[in-house]
């Protein structure tokens, strides 16, 4: 009996699901695992801070290596295997140095995986007509599944299972990547010549656009850093907080389901404008939401503040950056988000000590600036997209 292989859309969806399953375990639960292994809070902060800095630097560099070699799928496999190997170091003595090497190494080699996956998915959408957003939504599904699994395993006697699943997710990501077929990049011969002059990275106009694309994601910094703490201070039960986080992700998935049809009616800058306007509302009203209904209503705006911003950003880069350099472009977007988020978190932390409401008002103001900047830059973005 002959079994046909899954379509490319299913395999790309699986790639996102596997990667985000590991990320959905690592992001919320690794500090818990480190605490159980005797790493104190100051040391945890140092490890994660150092890992974040090196990840921000590594993402475009490692993605660029993959672009230059033309081996995105193989690069995802190598980076995923290397990430799993660093997680395996946890099997050794639980000393600070070994743990730091394991965590930072994993963060560095996982950094380019998502940009390369996005670049591949965008090539697949261009070449086969598959819907990028419907493939990408399975990453959100994987993230939610990991949150649920990690919640059940986040006890001292089962914390080792979280590390095992993170490593398995990395291995699965690499395996799925190698199961996928190669994609023609950009459909033109000029995309395969390797001429650096094709890329816009040396052009002055590219960098303010990149900063703008990162700004909308960085406007979530107050929520990611202090949202749960803020709600706990309001005596919101832990279970309810979990539900509120889930509401945002479910809304995001809903947008990704219909984004393909929306993308045929509206161009990417419109997605950014809608995202920025929704962020002004979400963060400006966040301190006034004092019951579950209003909190959940604002959480549903996550579909726009995150989802629309993500879709607009990757679509703009897919048009501005030649497909040959797609991984580098997506890696630079990750770096833009990371740098702006790090700065925003530092400022929000200082503001939170003064008044817990202030970080959210700041994010609303930042989002308003982003809307104005989008209005100013949209003509330039559209000209450059048309020229590309």
User: Is 105 part of any domain?
Assistant: yes
The CATH number of whichever domain residue 78 belongs to comes to 1.20.1250.20
In a domain, 45, yes or no: yes
**In angstroms, rounded to a whole number, what is the distance separating the alpha carbons of residues 380 and 212?**
13
Q: Is residue 4 part of a domain?
A: yes
Q: What is the pLDDT of residue 190?
A: 39
Q: Structural domain tally of the chain?
A: 2
pTM score = 0.85
Give the HSE-up count for residue 338: Cα atoms under 13 Å, Cβ half-sphere. Answer: 21
pLDDT score, position 260: 86
38-47: Cβ within 8 A, 24+ apart: 38/94, 39/96, 39/99, 43/96, 43/100, 46/100, 47/99, 47/100, 47/103, 47/104
- Provide mean pLDDT across the span 72-77: 95
For residue 383 the two structure tokens come to 């000209």
Same domain, 38 and 92: yes
Q: Are residues 294 and 330 in the same domain?
A: yes
Of 306, 310, 245, give the one whose Cα is nearest residue 279: 306
pLDDT of 313-345, one tens digit each?
999 999 999 988 999 999 999 999 999 988 898
Long-range contacts: 226-235, Cβ < 8 Å, 24+? 226/348, 226/349, 226/352, 226/356, 226/359, 229/352, 230/356, 231/295, 233/356, 234/290
Given a cut of 90, whether residue 243 has pLDDT beyond it is: no
Res 195: pLDDT: 52
- pLDDT (tens digit, 9 = 90+) per residue, 367-383? 999 999 999 999 999 99
Percent of the chain beyond pLDDT 70?
95
Residue 192 domain flag: no
Alpha carbons 337 and 55: distance in angstroms, whole number = 12
* Nearest residue to 185 via CA among 348, 103, 56, 66: 66
Q: Are residues 172 and 204 in the same domain?
A: no
Most confident of 18-22, 55-59, 336-340: 18-22
Q: What is the pLDDT of residue 117?
A: 95
Whether residue 59 lies inside any domain: the answer is: yes
Mean pLDDT computed over 269-291? 96
Domain assignment of residue 302, given as a range = 198-388
pLDDT of 247 higher than 50: yes
Same domain, 76 and 18: yes
pLDDT tens digits for 168-215?
999 999 999 999 988 766 544 334 444 555 678 889 999 999 999 999
- How many CB atoms are closer than 10 A to CB 3? 5
- Domain match, 250 and 146 both: no
Domain ends where: 154, 181, 208?
181
282 and 318: one domain?
yes
Q: What is the DSSP letter of 5?
A: P
- What length does the chain have? 388
Query: From CA 119, how far away is CA 67, in angstroms rounded?
Result: 10
How far apart are the C-alpha atoms of 296 and 291, rounded to whole Å? 9
Q: Do residue 373 and residue 304 come from a single domain?
A: yes
Which of 181, 212, 239 is the C-terminal boundary of a domain?
181
């Amino acid at each position: 009996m002959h079994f046909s292989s899954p379509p490319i859309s299913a395999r790309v969806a699986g790639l996102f699901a596997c990667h985000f399953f590991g990320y959905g375990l690592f992001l919320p639960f690794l500090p818990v695992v480190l605490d159980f292994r005797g790493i104190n809070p100051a040391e945890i902060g140092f490890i994660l801070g150092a890992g974040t800095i090196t990840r921000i630097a590594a993402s475009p560099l490692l993605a660029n290596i993959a672009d230059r070699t033309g081996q995105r799928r193989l690069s995802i496999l190598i980076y995923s295997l290397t990430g799993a190997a660093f997680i395996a170091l946890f099997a050794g003595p639980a000393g600070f140095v070994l743990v730091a090497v394991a965590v930072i190494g994993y963060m560095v080699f996982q950094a380019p995986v998502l940009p390369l996956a996005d670049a591949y998915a965008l090539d697949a959408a261009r070449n086969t007509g598959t819907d990028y957003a419907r493939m990408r939504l399975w990453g959100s599904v994987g993230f939610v599944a990991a949150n649920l699994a990690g919640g059940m395993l986040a006890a001292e006697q089962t914390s080792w299972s979280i590390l095992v699943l993170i490593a398995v997710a990395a291995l699965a990501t690499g395996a799925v990547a190698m199961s996928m077929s190669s994609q023609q990049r950009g459909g033109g011969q000029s995309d395969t010549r390797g001429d650096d002059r094709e890329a816009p990275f040396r052009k002055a106009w590219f960098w303010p656009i990149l900063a703008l694309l990162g700004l909308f994601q960085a406007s979530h910094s107050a929520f990611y850093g202090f949202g749960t703490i803020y709600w706990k201070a309001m005596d919101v039960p832990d279970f309810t907080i979990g539900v509120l986080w889930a509401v945002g992700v479910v809304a995001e998935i809903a947008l990704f389901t219909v984004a393909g049809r929306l993308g045929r009616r509206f161009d990417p800058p419109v997605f950014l404008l809608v995202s920025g306007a929704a962020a002004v509302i979400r963060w400006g009203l966040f301190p006034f939401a004092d019951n579950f209904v209003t909190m959940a209503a604002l959480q549903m705006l996550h579909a726009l503040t995150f989802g629309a911003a993500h879709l607009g950003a990757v679509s703009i880069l897919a048009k501005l950056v030649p497909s040959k350099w797609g991984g580098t472009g997506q890696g630079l977007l990750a770096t833009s988000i990371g740098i702006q988020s790090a700065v925003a978190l530092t400022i929000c932390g200082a503001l939170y000590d003064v008044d817990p409401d202030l970080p959210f008002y700041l994010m609303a103001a930042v989002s308003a600036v982003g809307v104005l900047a989008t209005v100013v830059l949209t003509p330039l973005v559209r000209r450059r997209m048309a020229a590309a």
